[in-house]
Structure 1
Amino acid sequence: MKGTLFRYVVRTYLQFAVGILAAVLSIFLVVDFVDRARQYTGEGWLWNVVLLYANKALVATQQLGPVALLLAAGTSVSSLRKRGEVTAMRSLTFGPNALYLPVALCVGLACVGLIAFDEWVVVKASQRVEEITTQRFNRWGDWGVYHTPKQWFRKGDQIFYLRRGNAQEGFENVAILTVTPEFRLARRVDADTMRSVEGTRWMLGGVVERSFTKNGQSQVRQMAEAEYDLGVTPHTFRLRPGRPEQMRIPVLREQIRVRSEVGRDTRQFSLVLHNRFAHPMASLPAAMLAVGLALRPGRKGHMTVAIVEGLLISVMMWGLMVVTRTLALSERMAPAVAAWFPVALLSVAAALLWLRGEGRLGGGGA
């Protein structure tokens, strides 16, 4: 009997989850197309739009998946309650956990699936969306912010200005500034070329070295070629252009480490890394909160109420994520705390509602 009931609740929940996801995804894509339709022009625009929205559908599935899981939790339980099946379960001595557990299992597995889906599918789909938008429809937006090659680096007391090139093939037209603890310029080395020799040693060509003393005097040396130990390896300069949301987890970790070494901001990258897990996982406590609301005493089991409650929880989730993201990027909150705070808050709310439903905080069961 327990197994039959468990499978029945799982089947009911999955039906609602798939249906709601399809509905919200369709609405999102249609609205997005209508809003941007005038931008889609040029030769072969129809096929390009098809490719664009095929990839947008993948990205939107990951973004809207937690909302669909949340809405499905409340509506599926409300549907069971409206048909009198929750009352029937009580008469057979099944408590609220007969609904909580199957829904939690489904949502938990879906969360893991969304994390893997984001890592292996959405990252590439997001890159493809940006590529089609910029190259085929000439809509660049903030493309340059993320894709312009990085030229300034800092490591310890040295500041590097690398105008052209890369860590593998070498750099051209470089300037290396050495500063004192008081941030006074102690030495400047300009070079036409800069190539790695071994470890932290680099060969510079067309060198002009200027040394500055405290009393304002300077000395200049010119050399056709000179080898310097700059205290950095080629790996230090491996900053990848692109949006952090379009990078896989190993790349994000590497970029956080490399950017920390050269004194560049890592907050956005750390936030994206934690959100790769936190954003899908937020749907689990949110869904449990929706189930608790659907089972609360005296509530009418109407679908409209469940949808409204689910939307309110979604708005609360979105609001918390926006606020914590802003606090993290403005250095008022650690990225890890910002990513997981909404999950923790929803978990506390869901736990309190479950305890109240069990009669442990006052109030009766559903």
Structure 2
Amino acid sequence: MSGTLFRYVVRTYLGFAVGILAALVAVFLVVDFVDRARNYTGEGWVWNVLVLYANKALLAVQQLGPAALLLAAGASVSALRKRGEVTAMRALAFGPKALYLPVAACVAVACTGLIAFDEWVAVKASRTVEEITTQRFNRWGDWGLYNNPKQWFRKGDQIFYLRGGSAEEGFENVAILTVTPDFRLARRLDAKFMRPLEGTRWRLEGVVDRTFTPDGQSRVSESAEGEYDLGANAKTFRIRPGRPEQMRLAVLREQIRTRGEVGLDSRQFSLALHNRFAYPLAGFPAALLAVGLALRPSRKGHLTVAIVEGLLVCVTMWSLMVVARTLALSERLSPAVAAWLPTSLLVVGAFLLWLRGEGRLGRGGG
């Protein structure tokens, strides 16, 4: 393949990609501002809104990036086709690869960049958006759902009720219930303070120890303090508040592992972890699918058709993502399958269109 032709297709694609992404971000910000403008009041609201929408713009780049890659691929090939340049390439014995390879190279770099952008920029921007929305404009939404501290934990045959404190400094006003395999209460420890020692040992202060026998009898003892092996170390209770989408990869992995140890639901965290890769990478097969659609023999080379086709693919895949996410959170689908299913379908579609363009599946060419 000619290096000159490769660079020409790359420049054409990048021009459309940057322009379409800028247009999508601008439309999103304008619509969002018009919808929420009545909420922006109070002292210094102008500066707060500027900071808010600067961070929303960063989030929009990450959220709309795959769609922009898809739309740019269809638009760039359609533009080349409308100008007769695709026909000229074929006359010079350049096949579909002359378009697929430059677009694939650009999109591969862009998808990798989106993953890094999400990890290092979008995560922080999302936290800033939520902080300004809640603290400056008093719009809380579902903030409490993700930020209220967890108090109930289960580790093996013990259930912990930790009313206050942290894993590092210890907890106060705690209750530790020991249950039998048939979920009958066998022991209850109440303590004013619970502080971590080495390993799984803890120092409890102001202890009330109740034991329950199978025949319904109970014994109670009290002590000022004591050391107990509770079968869990301080890291076991290191549950971080916040949305999983606002956590870095290392924190997500830690929270999935920790939540699994103490019986807390981690499906949403697993889904966020897989989507950190699956969502940006969906732009790669989506762009190649758009190239295949633009090269169909019976298709006219118009930009409008390319944009409409791209939007239909985006809407279809977005709907599938919503359905898959719902199924994952309702335990009907694993988080990994839910995250990667839309991307996998795009891969299949792009591959079939490529085979058709190569003449290996039905009619090609044109």
Same fold (TM over 0.5): yes
Cα-Cα RMSD = 0.7
Alignment match, 2:348 = 348
Which letter does structure 1 place at the counterpart of 2:156? G
Residues 1:8 and 2:28 are matched in the alignment: no
Q: Any residues of structure 2 matched to 1:314-325 within 5 Å, and which? A: 314-325=314-325
Whole-Å Cα distance in 1 between the matches of residues 48 and 215 of structure 2? 64
Deviation track 1:218-272 (CA, whole Å, cap 9, x = no partner) reads: 1101111111100000000000000000000000000001001101111000000
Deviation, 1:111, is: 0.2
Alignment match, 2:150 = 150
Deviation, 1:51, is: 0.4
Q: Any residues of structure 2 matched to 1:164-313 within 5 Å, and which? A: 164-313=164-313
Which letter does structure 1 place at the counterpart of 2:21? L
Whole-Å Cα distance in 1 between the matches of residues 95 and 364 of structure 2? 12
Alignment match, 1:111 = 111
Deviation, 1:364, is: 2.5
Whole-Å Cα distance in 1 between the matches of residues 91 and 343 of structure 2? 34
**Runs of 4 or more above 4 Å deviation:** none
Whole-Å Cα distance in 1 between the matches of residues 16 and 341 of structure 2? 28
Secondary structure of the residue that 1:154 maps to in structure 2?
strand
Whole-Å Cα distance in 1 between the matches of residues 284 and 84 of structure 2? 26
Whole-Å Cα distance in 2 between the matches of residues 123 and 110 of structure 1? 18
Which letter does structure 2 place at the counterpart of 1:268? Q
Deviation, 1:315, is: 0.7
Secondary structure of the residue that 1:139 maps to in structure 2?
coil
Which letter does structure 2 place at the counterpart of 1:103? V
Secondary structure of the residue that 2:78 maps to in structure 1?
helix
Whole-Å Cα distance in 1 between the matches of residues 236 and 73 of structure 2? 47
Deviation track 1:68-99 (CA, whole Å, cap 9, x = no partner) reads: 00000000000000000000000100000000
Whole-Å Cα distance in 1 between the matches of residues 198 and 354 of structure 2? 61
Which letter does structure 1 place at the counterpart of 2:35? D
Alignment match, 1:24 = 24
Q: Could you tell me which runs of 5 or more consecutive residues in structure 2 were left unpaired when the two chains were aligned.
A: none
Whole-Å Cα distance in 1 between the matches of residues 73 and 178 of structure 2? 60
Whole-Å Cα distance in 1 between the matches of residues 315 and 186 of structure 2? 54
Deviation track 1:186-243 (CA, whole Å, cap 9, x = no partner) reads: 1010000000111100010000011111111111011111111000000000000000
The sequence identity of aligned pairs, in percent, is 78
Alignment match, 1:333 = 333
Whole-Å Cα distance in 1 between the matches of residues 31 and 208 of structure 2? 59
TM-score normalised over the length of structure 1:
0.99
Whole-Å Cα distance in 1 between the matches of residues 129 and 184 of structure 2? 46
Deviation, 1:335, is: 0.6
Alignment match, 1:65 = 65
Deviation, 1:361, is: 1.2
Alignment match, 1:75 = 75
Which letter does structure 2 place at the counterpart of 1:272? A
Secondary structure of the residue that 1:117 maps to in structure 2?
helix
Secondary structure of the residue that 1:198 maps to in structure 2?
coil
Whole-Å Cα distance in 2 between the matches of residues 110 and 317 of structure 1? 19
TM-score normalised over the length of structure 2:
0.99
Whole-Å Cα distance in 2 between the matches of residues 108 and 207 of structure 1? 60
Whole-Å Cα distance in 2 between the matches of residues 341 and 154 of structure 1? 32
Whole-Å Cα distance in 2 between the matches of residues 314 and 348 of structure 1? 16
Whole-Å Cα distance in 2 between the matches of residues 188 and 333 of structure 1? 37
